[in-house]
A and B are shown apart, each in its own frame.
Chain A
């Protein structure tokens, strides 16, 4: 496992930190130093909100090395509300419940681990937005087991 490679990508993976073009204001993820819209150089950081929609998806049954323990899992193309389309694992959802257009939000989760001795690698995944319920009076009163 390349510890240094994972460490270098930490900021973008943990908190969805990309870039913004200082010329045309295009939001860029992953950060690449050059605006894909106007080709101007940029190094301005931009933290994405983490909100987006599922653009497309596919369920993985035969997983690559390091991910076998989580299969079957669904990979989504997520359109962030700021524009970029990124690839990420979907989590906290049953594979047969994923739909195009589903509202999702970024969470930081464990991506993989290097055997039982190596580092744990964390990064972004997306899950259905935690729905907001209005509190009901009975929420405060649990029947004791």
Chain B
């Protein structure tokens, strides 16, 4: 028996009420560890490096403090009272506590308490875009005027592992609100998820494990392509329709290759490709790529963003920039301003900052 059409056709997620991004804000910590430092310590400087350098949080930074700064930037750009925010949702795989929400620390700091929801989201690198999608539903249903979705990470890299070159720190916050107040309207979203064990971190373990080459074809490429092509098919778009495209960026090669596979040009991807300069910011990666794009986007631009989270799945979004963007771009530091605020550190300082030294 043939399945009904609605079960075989991609179902584009679009709320009853049009929603968009009322404000956004990025954050990248100040310190940078050049990839050649990791190579110097573990490979005697031989072999290639997947990126130039990665961002490293300072001793007093974690996902909560970084989320607070990005969230403040988002509220500043939206120019609303924080008491109007009805949800503060933080997606991360490096929440400071195992039990106790990051979101309440952020909500309290930005002045959104007590009339708000607070929750922490988890889905490896796509926890932030999940919160973004859920915020669309919350605002789109009329349950809230504004919801804050944050993707932020201080990613863990096992010393000497391939991921140590790239496991970075940073992310972005998005204030989702009614379309008529938005700098970018979210025209549709689609999610593509399967049970694929490409990367994981077991409970109480400090570092993740990964399936090496298994993280490529059956994981990243299958899900990113699956989500993006389904969305474009349903929206009736082609790659050339988009001014910018952001794909999850665990390294510099994957997003460029997946874009090329689907017919995107390098110049559509480069503005949002931050991984060579700040590393893989995990739950923050796609969202901070988007914030870099929003910093330079023009009214009318069509933007595509596809995240990827191990385990595995992708969330894809289509956004249309409105004429409200130009004033709001300048209200808070841009993503590039944070990236330029750069202090290089060596591997020894990195081990101190990341708590890798056993003190007692």
Tell me if B52 and A125 are in contact (CB < 8 A). Answer: no
CB of A10 within 8 Å of the partner chain: yes
Given A107-B65, A110-B60, A140-B270, A120 contacting B96 (CB threshold 8 A): yes
Residues of B within 8 A of A141 (CB): 270
Residues of B within 8 A of A122 (CB): 64-65, 105, 109
Residues of A within 8 A of B35 (CB): 145
One of B135-143, B174-182, B232-240, B334-342 contacting the partner: B334-342
How big is chain A's contact interface, by range? 20 to 34
- Cα distance A140–B244 when bound, in Å? 11
Given A92-B30, A125-B60, A132-B337, A11 contacting B108 (CB threshold 8 A): yes
Tell me if B69 and A108 are in contact (CB < 8 A). Answer: yes
Tell me if A135 and B61 are in contact (CB < 8 A). Answer: no
- Cα distance A122–B96 when bound, in Å? 12
- Cα distance A141–B252 when bound, in Å? 13
Min Cβ gap B270→A in Å is 6
Tell me if A131 and B341 are in contact (CB < 8 A). Answer: yes
CB of A144 within 8 Å of the partner chain: yes
The chain B residue sitting closest to A91, CB to CB, is: B60
CB of B198 within 8 Å of the partner chain: no
CB of B101 within 8 Å of the partner chain: no
Given A108-B65, A120-B96, A142-B273, A130 contacting B49 (CB threshold 8 A): no
Tell me if B97 and A120 are in contact (CB < 8 A). Answer: yes
The chain B residue sitting closest to A141, CB to CB, is: B270
CB of B10 within 8 Å of the partner chain: no
CB of A139 within 8 Å of the partner chain: yes
Given A122-B65, A142-B277, A47 contacting B111 (CB threshold 8 A): yes
CB of B172 within 8 Å of the partner chain: no
CB of B321 within 8 Å of the partner chain: no
Min Cβ gap A42→B in Å is 20
Tell me if B334 and A135 are in contact (CB < 8 A). Answer: yes
Min Cβ gap A112→B in Å is 9
A100-133 vs B, Cβ < 8 Å mask (1 yes, 0 no): 0000000111110000000010100100001111
Residues of B within 8 A of A46 (CB): none
A11-41 vs B, Cβ < 8 Å mask (1 yes, 0 no): 1001100000000000000000000000000
Tell me if A132 and B270 are in contact (CB < 8 A). Answer: no
Min Cβ gap B248→A in Å is 16
CB of B157 within 8 Å of the partner chain: no
- Cα distance A133–B341 when bound, in Å? 10
CB of A143 within 8 Å of the partner chain: yes
Given A15-B109, A135-B296, A70 contacting B59 (CB threshold 8 A): yes
Residues of A within 8 A of B62 (CB): 110, 120
The chain A residue sitting closest to B329, CB to CB, is: A135
CB of A69 within 8 Å of the partner chain: yes
Tell me if B61 and A109 are in contact (CB < 8 A). Answer: yes
Residues of B within 8 A of A14 (CB): 68, 105, 108-109
Question: Which of the listed residues A92, A135, A142, A145 has the most CB atoms from chain B within 10 Å of its own CB?
Answer: A145
Residues of A within 8 A of B296 (CB): 135, 140
- Cα distance A94–B345 when bound, in Å? 12
Residues of A within 8 A of B50 (CB): 145
Tell me if A142 and B270 are in contact (CB < 8 A). Answer: yes
Residues of A within 8 A of B338 (CB): 130
Tell me if A133 and B337 are in contact (CB < 8 A). Answer: yes
- Cα distance A133–B337 when bound, in Å? 6
CB of B58 within 8 Å of the partner chain: yes
A63-93 vs B, Cβ < 8 Å mask (1 yes, 0 no): 0000001100000000000000000010110
User: Which residues of B line the A interface, CB within 8 A?
Assistant: 30, 35, 49-52, 58-62, 64-65, 68-69, 96-97, 105, 108-111, 252, 256, 270-271, 273-274, 276-277, 295-296, 333-334, 336-338, 340-341, 343, 359
Across the A-B interface, the 3 shortest Cβ-Cβ residue pairs: A109-B60, A14-B109, A140-B271
